[in-house]
Amino acid sequence: MQRRHALFALSAIGLLSASACTRKDAASADPPAAPAELPPARELSAAEARQAYQAAGGGNGFTAGPIVAANTVFVFFDPQCPHCGALWTASQPLLGKLKMVWLPVAILRPVSAPQGALLLSAPNPVAAMTEHEASLMDRKGGLTVPDKVDEAQVAKVKANTELLQKMGADSVPFILYRNAKTGLYGSHSGTVSTDKLAEMAGV
């Protein structure tokens, strides 16, 4: 599994550093099996990114990395997006020094909302996310959704989706960050490599 995980990461983030899933992907029967190159999305201005970053702080997510950290990166992701999975993999080496808050949205599949709700309500969201992404890479669809899902958690996913749309973003993963070295705020649409993520966050 680890070898397949690494191969996926290399193909997803080593070759195409600007890959993302959009609403157009939802028209296909299955989520894309591998990243596809997309036209670069408009990135927010520094002022817009600062406002979006502050707004993301009021979203509904789970934390990977230190709970208390000087630097936080926010990531809006769809549970059915393979590019989001690539970013999850790329972020792992940085979690000793970088706090990342993952906010699930539902723009790709009907199952996105309940899977996002399961991740938010999991006793250990990080472990649940790792399990989910492994299942998604194996083309097994991710976490199995039970017959009943906590509607309060589903509502949180829908609220995140509305928040993302208000920011003018139309693809995931959507990253909001504050560079720890320069203090500047920024945004990025699409997955990035570990090195690029570290550069963006200034760690």
Compute CA distances 90 → 2, 11, 25, 105, 196, whole Å.
Answer: 13, 12, 22, 20, 9
pTM: 0.84
With H, G, I as helix, E, B as strand and everything else as coil, classify residue 40: coil
Q: Which of 143, 173, 177, 133 is nearest to 38 (CA)?
A: 173
Helix axes 46-56, 151-166, angle to 10 degrees: 170
- Report residue 28 as tokens: 């296909």
Q: Rounded to 5 degrees, what are φ and ψ at 93?
A: -65, -15
Which CATH topology does 2-201 take? Glutaredoxin (3.40.30)
Give me the residue spans of the domains in the chain.
Answer: 2-201
How confident is the prediction along the chain (203 residues), in pLDDT tens digits per residue?
Answer: 433 333 333 333 333 334 778 766 554 545 444 333 334 456 789 999 999 999 999 999 999 999 888 789 999 999 999 999 999 999 999 999 999 999 999 999 999 999 999 999 999 999 999 999 999 999 999 999 999 999 999 999 999 999 999 999 989 999 999 999 999 999 999 999 999 999 999 99
pLDDT score, position 42: 63
pLDDT score, position 68: 83
Measure the CA–CA gap between 117 and 106, rounded to whole angstroms: 10
Q: Rounded to 5 degrees, what are φ and ψ at 175?
A: -105, 135
